[in-house]
Amino acid sequence: MTRKTCLPALLLSVCCLLNFTQMARAGYSVEISVDFGAPVIYVDNGAFDLNPAVFDMEFDFTVNDVGNNWTASGTVLATGGGDGVPPVSTIVTDTLIQKLLPGLFFGNIEVTHNYAASGLLSHSAVLDGQFENVLGNPISYAELFYTPRVYPENFGMTMGTAHEGPVSGVLGPVPFDELLGPIVLPTTIEHEITLGFYLDAPGDAIRLFNSAEIHTIVPEPTSAVLFLTAIVGFVGRWRK
């Protein structure tokens, strides 16, 4: 027997999922972790928040690995998602990841934006930057992996991985620019940005301009049918 899904039942399912995720995730914050270690937590309107608006965060960060092989400085912008209404965006911008000591080394930075459930979203992710050597030398070795994830509840859905490089033996800068997505989800509670990279010689660096970014697109009324079709498929898989 074929099960039919009517629009009221579909909307009820979406609302139930929205309420569930709001209960499952409390608070509004951004977390930054290095090399899979314990995160540093930044809260809305906390000591480091440069944006006084509620549910909009801006803060500067500086991190490095345990052995001080590399350092990274930049800015995180986390906007929206406080009232359950789209759009929501998470942006790592004006960022420089720089090698300090000689020798090929892997590093990992993870930025997580926790927010109240926000529904009916199409998510895209942007990567925009360049490889360079800040000492003016040829780039010895540089490689970057960018993986954005969105969480509809307690499991994440990757938007793919942008693989830039490797770049070796050339005088930079070497630009890169990539778009991932879009994917459509009925509701989300979290964005996660993972930057994994290899750098070799002192001065080898990765510079992010406007973003490693996840942002949401609010659908136009004329696109409602396409979004409802995607939601029907998602809710059907979720119910199974």
Q: Residue ranges per domain, the chain?
A: 29-239
> pLDDT tens digits for 72-92?
999 999 998 887 777 889 999
* pLDDT value for 65: 95
> Is the pLDDT score of 135 beyond 50?
yes
pLDDT band for position 144 (50/70/90)? Answer: very high
**What DSSP line would sit under 153-176, residue for residue?**
SSS-EE---EEEEEE-SB-S-EEE
Beta-carbon contacts of 22 under 8 Å, excluding residues fewer than 6 positions away, are 84, 116, 117, 189
